[in-house]
Each structure stands twice: as structure tokens, then as C-alpha cells.
Amino acid sequence: MDLTRMSRFWPALVAVLALGWMAFIFDWPVVLAALAEIRPCPLLPVIALLGLGIYCCCALRWIAINQLPWRLDVFRDVQAYVAVTIAIGIATPMQAGEALKLKFARDAGLPLGASAVNLALERLIDLAILVGFTIGGLVHMFRYPVWLAVMAALVPFLAGLALPDLGQRWARAWPRLARWVGAPLTASALAIVAFASLGKWIFTLASWLAVLGAVGPMPDVGQAMLLIGAVTTVSILSAVPAGLGVQELSARALLTAMDRTPAEAEIGALALRLLLPMMLAVGFAHVPLLWRRRSPHG
């Protein structure tokens, strides 16, 4: 079997192995009994509102990084298709479904190359934040001062935030690449990209804390940062759609390392899976707005 065919089957093989290991090691009677006791109110409305906040931050960032006009109709249209494409991306390998943003950008008349570059920059900024969360969480777990954990988390984020400007400057030095790059980001646009990116992950952090707090002792912020950074990164790199099985096993391992019992760790790991259907529901709730778009805006 050649490498191309192996790459196609690899995510499925990883998912099968992860799910098989889950079936073997999880204490399912205890876990399912605990999950059945979760009270949907007020947890689900809170998660839905936090999910909406995540999508709003993503829309603001897309408007800023593409330097679209700041108008209510523009935000409405961008919010609609960004929410739908992110929902699709959540359920696709390595979140590749987010590339559908490029279709909407092309329909709106934006340069396809610039939009593709901006999409890549968004992913790099998110990756920088995840790395920052992971490092900051590890520093916190080893009992270093809080300020050191915060600084450790901020360094990768600031480095990732510099990528849009540095990448555009580098590309303009090459005639073949210059046409693929949009206008330089203004200081205000870069500030909005920064705050929107942080807002996205702060809302994500709050949603993880809400779910874990509903099924057991709530982890502190540093522990939750480590969970989000490490678990999300592993899930994405596994190329398994929605990190099925991979997310649960990695979350279980980290929660156990945070002094949870195996049963508590398994309950928390499976409870986090509740975020997927909620994010999909909130994202696809924007579909009717797509049909009402009278004039697309990026």
C-alpha cells in the first residue's frame, strides 16, 4: 500500500484503535450513570451562549483580517457563513472544512489568494494560542508563579500575532507571491484580530470549565488551559474527524494527571464531548441567514 492510500486510511485506523481502547478501559456503568445525572438547564443554554460568543469573535476576526467594511449588514453575512463553515470544520479531519470560507470570499469578489493567506494566518494564530495555553498550563501545574504562567502563555500568542505582518512583508518581496497578499493590516485591524482571537479562546475556556464543573470538581484556569491546549492540538493533528476517541483518551490522561480518579477523568472526558453537538447546533442555526443574504461580503 503506497503512502497516499495509507494517509487516507490513517485517520480511520487511529479512530478505531482509540475507540477500541476506550471501550476496554472506561468504566462504562459508572460513567454513563454519572452522565445521566447531568441537568441540561442551565448548562446547555450557557454553552449555547458561549458558542455564539465564539462564532461572533471568529466573524470579527475574519472581517478585520480581510479589512472588510465595518457595517451591520457585513457583520451579519460574515457571522452567518463563518459560523456554518466552522461547524463543518469541527467535524472534518484537521478542521479542513473551514476552507469553505474561501468559497464565500470568492463569491463576494475578494481575491482568492489573499483570502487563502488570511485563512492560513488565522490557523497559525489559533495554533500559537494553543501552544501558549499548553505552556502556560504546564508552568502553572509545576507550581510556578501565576505571572510566569501568564507570560509563558502570552509569548507564543504575541509571536503568532506578528505573523500576519511579517508574512505579508516577506511575500511582497517576491513578485510571484505579492499578488496573493492583501493590503497591509492597519494597527486597528491588527488589534481587533488580537482581541477577537483571545475572545474566541476565552469563551472556549469558559465552556470547558462549565462542562467539567457540571460533572465534578471544576479545574482551575491553569488546568483548563493545559487541557484545551494539549487535547485540541492532539485531536487536530490526529486528523480524526472531531478527534473521535483521541480527544477522550487524551483528556482522560490529563485529568488523571491532575489528581482525578480514573472514573472522574472518564466522566469529564466524555462530558466534554457534549460541546460538539452544541457547537454544531449553534453553527448550523445560522444556515437560514445564508439564504437571506442579498449581497455577500467576503
Residue 298: what pLDDT?
42
pLDDT for res 103 = 77
Q: Taking 60 as the threshold, does the pLDDT of residue 240 lie above it?
A: yes
Query: How confident is the model at residue 210, as a pLDDT?
Result: 93
**In the chain, % of residues over pLDDT 70:** 86
Q: What per-residue confidence (pLDDT) applies to 185? A: 77
Give me the mean pLDDT over the 1-7 stretch. 51
- DSSP notation for 78-122: HHHHHHHHHHHHHTSGGGGGGGGHHHHHHHTT--HHHHHHHHHHH
Mean pLDDT of the region 166-194: 72
Arithmetic mean of pLDDT, 152-175:
75
Average pLDDT over all residues of the chain: 84
Q: Cβ-count burial of 29 within 10 angstroms (0-12 exposed, 13-18 middle, 19+ buried)?
A: exposed
Indicate the pLDDT class of residue 99, thresholds 50, 70 and 90: confident
Rounded average pLDDT over 178-189: 73
Which of the two residues, 4 and 60, has the higher pLDDT score? 60
Q: Is 243 exposed, middle or buried (0-12, 13-18, 19+ CB in 10 A)?
A: buried
- Model confidence at 1: pLDDT above 70: no
CA distances from 27 to 22, 193, 244, 264 (A): 9, 43, 18, 10
Q: Report the pLDDT value the prediction gives residue 182, as an integer from 0 to 100.
A: 62
Tell me: pLDDT of 168 over 80. no
| Backbone phi, psi, residue 110, to 5° | -75, 150
Highest average pLDDT, of 93-97, 136-140, 175-179, comes from 136-140
C-alpha cell at 9: 486510511
Average pLDDT of the segment spanning 269-292: 88
Q: Is the pLDDT of residue 165 over 90?
A: no
- Residue 151 clears pLDDT 60, i.e. is over it: yes
Reported as a pLDDT band with limits 50, 70 and 90, residue 296 is very low
pLDDT at site 297: 46
- Ranges of beta strands (E only) in 109-210 are none
Q: For position 178, what pLDDT does the model report? A: 60
User: For the residues 171-198, what does the mean pLDDT come to?
Assistant: 76
Percent of the chain with pLDDT over 90: 37
CA pair distance 232, 237, nearest whole angstrom: 9
pLDDT interval class at 282 (50, 70, 90): very high
pLDDT value of position 279? 93
Is a pLDDT exceeding 90 seen at residue 184? no
pLDDT band at 201 (very low <50, low <70, confident <90, very high): very high
d(CA 126, CA 199): 11
pLDDT score, position 108 = 66
Match 513578485 to its residue by C-alpha cell.
175
Mean pLDDT is lowest, of 13-27, 99-113, 205-219, for 99-113
